[in-house]
Amino acid sequence: MHPYAAERFTEEEQDVLRRYFTNLDLPVFALVNLPEVVKGALFARYSRSPKSLRRLFLDEFAERGSEGATADVGTARAEQLYESFVQQFRVRGIETRTGQFGADMRVSIENDGPVTLVLSTDDWTTRV
């Protein structure tokens, strides 16, 4: 296991990050005060980026002006990424619909069998 090395951020970057990340120096954190569209696009980009989530947010979603990082949330950037993704399906002839998450979702699911989720901070030995 590799030790966690906390990233270094400028004071301006820290000011921006504190509005949207619950901490800046630990490997586990929560996102707060971000629109769903930004969270979705951020994680989609993060899955294909070598950058940390915090750095990716600063570089691609936090608007930057002449005074450095600002606290504007990158909704326009997120929507641009989604539209590009959807267009890639449409040009291939794949019917694709879009909408707002949670606006009016009717989903049915059939579950077969029990699932056990263990949430603990203790070490867990895998048992098969």
Q: Residues 38, 63, 48, 54: is their CA dihedral positive or negative?
A: negative
Cα 37–Cα 80–Cα 32 angle in degrees, nearest 5 = 25
Cα 61–Cα 100–Cα 50 angle in degrees, nearest 5 = 30
Query: So where are the chain's domains?
Result: 11-90
pLDDT of residue 74: 83
Tokens matching residue 121:
């901070």
Tell me the pLDDT tens digit for each residue of 7-26. Answer: 999 999 999 999 999 999 98
Tell me the pLDDT tens digit for each residue of 25-78. Answer: 988 899 998 888 889 899 999 988 999 999 999 999 987 654 545 445 788 888
pLDDT of residue 90: 92
Amino acid symbol at 39: K
pLDDT of residue 24: 93
Three-state DSSP class for 72? coil
Q: Which residues pair with 6 in a beta bridge?
A: none
